[in-house]
Amino acid sequence: MTDWTPPQTDAAVTAPPTAPIGTVDPPPAMVEVAGVTKSFGDVVAVSDVSFRVDAGVTALLGPNGAGKSTLFRVMCGLTPPSQGTVRVLGRDARRDREVRSRIGLAPQQDGLFDRVSALQFVDIAAQTLGVADHDAAARSALDQVALSADDPKPVGSFSKGMRQRVKLAAALVHDPDVLILDEPLTGLDPVQRNRMISFFHELGDAGKCLLVSSHVLDEVARLGSRVLVIAQGRLAATGDYRALRDLMDDRPHRIRVAADRARELAAALVDRSLVDGVSVRPYELVVDTTDVDRFGRSIAVTARELGVRLHEVEPLDDDLESVFRYLVERR
Amino acid sequence: MSGGSVAPGRAMALTYGLVVRQLVTRGRLFALAAVGVVMVVVAAAVGASDADGDPVERGVRLISDLGFTALVPIVALVFAAASLGDMREDGTLVYLWLRPMDRWPVVVGAWAAAVTVSLPLTVIPLLVSSIVVDAGGALVGATLLAAVVGMLVYSALFVLVGLLVKNAIVWGLAYVLLWEGLVAGFGTFAARLAIRGYTRSIITDRTGIDLDLGDLSLAAGVTVPLIVAVVAIAVSSIRLQSMEVA
């Protein structure tokens, strides 16, 4: 697992602390997962996962089937861990019913009470969560996700995006301290996504702890810098996404260079040890380099010395996808 | 504005309202009401016939065989198994599970909802049938009591089945048709595990017409099913707490 020190300016994802002898224990994190394994028969869905999360938005990144939803279900107490412990606000949601009123879950599955309206659905959520002014809370929650409280249509007739927002409203209606949102942006259009992402950050800035899963890497990059990467049931990395990228500079970066006399330029780059590998095509070369800064400083100089005209220099792996692929393949 | 604990009575009422709303679909109502109509038509035909034999016994056997072998258990199965079982299957149970509520009020609310929806669909056609079959007032009273007792206990059992297994309808039908319809006739022990034996005992006691499996007292015919219902609800509550929710 790749761990790194998170930014010190705000709450963050951390690996479980090991307190030196003679020191006091750190205060409990809002969400604390310790050595959690979850098996279904012979299938290990989550394997020895540990992390702590406090206020702010934390993205849980992983491909479909990586164990994200299972981990969320364990955190909410919907299924017990086979090994390990989970504490939300210091409590076990499976045993402690009080803490359930402080958790908001938007599950991944699409099932809703299809025969009721959005207002009725969210109002039922508010009432079952013990919200005193449930009607006002339901209307406010629907407003937060840009749905009309006066729409009488049953949620069974709603589009995927509208159903997704109904689930979000139901998760928000009691103003919970911890929000666990399983693929909440699925089905939303780009405008709604941006709006929701901004809203998530507002909640995080207000001291709420948000765990947001996604398998869409572009979403995670926008959700925030704090990332838990889960792959094949294991935590592949935790921490700040940009810091993770910085720490990963030892990996080969792949860059496409469009130039005339590409073969001549490639030879020069190899001679000067600026690249670890290169493949040449007509008017184009793709290089692998572990020292991307030095390569960036030298490519233009080298081309000028050779009289080669550069048309384009383009990183091919400068996105979260490449980070994820690297982490998974490295395991 | 954070939420808080939900009192058992409130949890029960909320679950009840929600489950009733989910259970009442046009398809279910029409299909099961049609079964009741068939029952009334057959009873009317039997009542109007001038066949040989005791008309009271003929009427009692009709009500017992059609009403308490098929109508009551099947209507109970359709609604009770779906009350929490459908939520378990489609993933909406999470909206009742991850709540600051005890489990038993949720089960009681779901059970009460299933009974509420099922009772009119069984009691009305059974009462009408017991009247048109023209077998006397005792049968009408016995039918009413046995239908209510049967509905309470079948519903409790099938709520539990819905929480325990997928395809609860199949398992419920297997119990009704194979166990109650076949195995229960093979011995006393098996008969005691068949709800039908208790509802038949009520009818036998009130009408004086001997029915297979109906050899228990009225007290046993009423109290044992009610105890079974309470136990089934308790087990359902434990199951709801311990189950893995999707």
Q: What is the pLDDT of residues A51-94, one digit of tens each?
A: 999 999 999 988 888 899 999 999 999 999 999 999 999 999 99
CA distance B235 to chain A (A): 18
Q: How far apart are CA A91 and CA A217, in angstroms?
A: 32
Mean pLDDT for chain B overall: 92
DSSP string, A96-117: -TGGGGGEEEE-SS----TTSB
The CA distances from residue A248 to A60, A288, A330, in Å, are: 19, 14, 11
DSSP SS3 for A80: coil
Q: How far apart are CA B81 and CA B92, in angstroms?
A: 15
Chain B residues whose beta carbon lies within 8 Å of the beta carbon of residue A132? 1, 4
Chain A residues whose beta carbon lies within 8 Å of the beta carbon of residue B244? 73, 78-80
Q: Angle at the Cα of B105 (from B103 to B111), degrees rounded to 5?
A: 105
pLDDT in tens, B188-245: 888 889 999 999 999 999 888 888 877 889 999 999 999 999 999 999 999 999 999 9
pTM of the model: 0.83
Q: What mean pLDDT is predicted for residues A238-267?
A: 79
CB atoms within 10 A of CB A296: 15
Q: What mean pLDDT is predicted for residues B13-26?
A: 95
Exposure string of A125-143, with b = 16+ CB inside 10 Å and e = fewer, is bbbbbbbeebeebbbbbbe
Q: Which residues make beta-bridge pairs with A279?
A: A286
CA nearest neighbour of A180 among B68, B93, B94? B94
Helix B218-242, helix B103-132: angle, nearest 10 = 140
pLDDT in tens, A162-198: 999 999 999 999 999 999 999 999 888 888 999 999 9
From B5, B98, B244, residue closest to A98, measured CB to CB:
B5
pLDDT of residue A222: 80
Q: How confident is the model at residue A220 (pLDDT cuts 50, 70, 90)?
A: confident
Chain B residues whose beta carbon lies within 8 Å of the beta carbon of residue A41? none
Higher model confidence: residue A230 or residue B121?
B121
Edge to edge, the sheet with strand A56-61 lists A103-106, A178-181, A209-214, A56-61, A226-231, A234-240
Answer for the pair A46, A38: CB distance below 8 angstroms, yes or no: yes
Q: How far apart are CA B77 and CA B14, in angstroms?
A: 22
Residues whose CB is less than 8 angstroms from the CB of residue B70 and which lie 6 or more positions away in sequence, other chains included: B35, B176
Q: How many Å is the Cα radius of gyration of chain B?
A: 19
Instruction: Please tell me which residue of chain B has the smallest CA distance to A99.
Output: B100
DSSP SS3 for A48: strand
Q: How far apart are CA B94 and CA A78, in angstroms?
A: 8
Answer for the pair B39, B71: CB distance below 8 angstroms, yes or no: yes
Taking CB atoms and an 8 Å limit, are B91 and A109 in contact across chains? yes
Instruction: Please tell me which residue of chain A has the smallest CA distance to B103.
Output: A97
pLDDT in tens, A304-331: 999 999 999 988 876 656 666 666 666 5
pLDDT of residue B122: 95
Chain B residues whose beta carbon lies within 8 Å of the beta carbon of residue A122? none
Q: What mean pLDDT is predicted for residues B122-134?
A: 91
Taking CB atoms and an 8 Å limit, are B245 and A109 in contact across chains? no
Higher model confidence: residue A303 or residue B136?
A303
Answer for the pair B132, B40: CB distance below 8 angstroms, yes or no: yes
From A78, A110, A137, residue closest to B1, measured CB to CB:
A137
Instruction: Please tell me which residue of chain A has the smallest CA distance to B20.
Output: A115
From B2, B11, B14, residue closest to A174, measured CB to CB:
B2
Mean pLDDT for chain A overall: 86
Taking CB atoms and an 8 Å limit, are A102 and B3 in contact across chains? yes
Assembly ipTM: 0.87
From B1, B18, B102, residue closest to A113, measured CB to CB:
B18
Taking CB atoms and an 8 Å limit, are A111 and B90 in contact across chains? yes
What is the count of residue pairs from A and B with beta carbons less than 8 Å apart?
Answer: 94
CA distance B2 to chain A (A): 5
From B3, B22, B94, residue closest to A78, measured CB to CB:
B94
Q: Is the pLDDT of residue A225 over 80?
A: no
Answer for the pair A188, A165: CB distance below 8 angstroms, yes or no: yes
Q: What is the DSSP letter of B66?
A: I
CA nearest neighbour of B76 among B32, B18, B31, B10? B32
Q: What percentage of chain B carries pLDDT values higher than 90?
A: 73
Interface of B with A (CB under 8 A): 1-6, 10-11, 14, 18, 21-22, 90-92, 94-102, 244-246
Taking CB atoms and an 8 Å limit, are A124 and B18 in contact across chains? yes
CA distance A111 to chain B (A): 6
Edge to edge, the sheet with strand A31-40 lists A43-53, A31-40, A83-88
Taking CB atoms and an 8 Å limit, are B14 and A115 in contact across chains? no
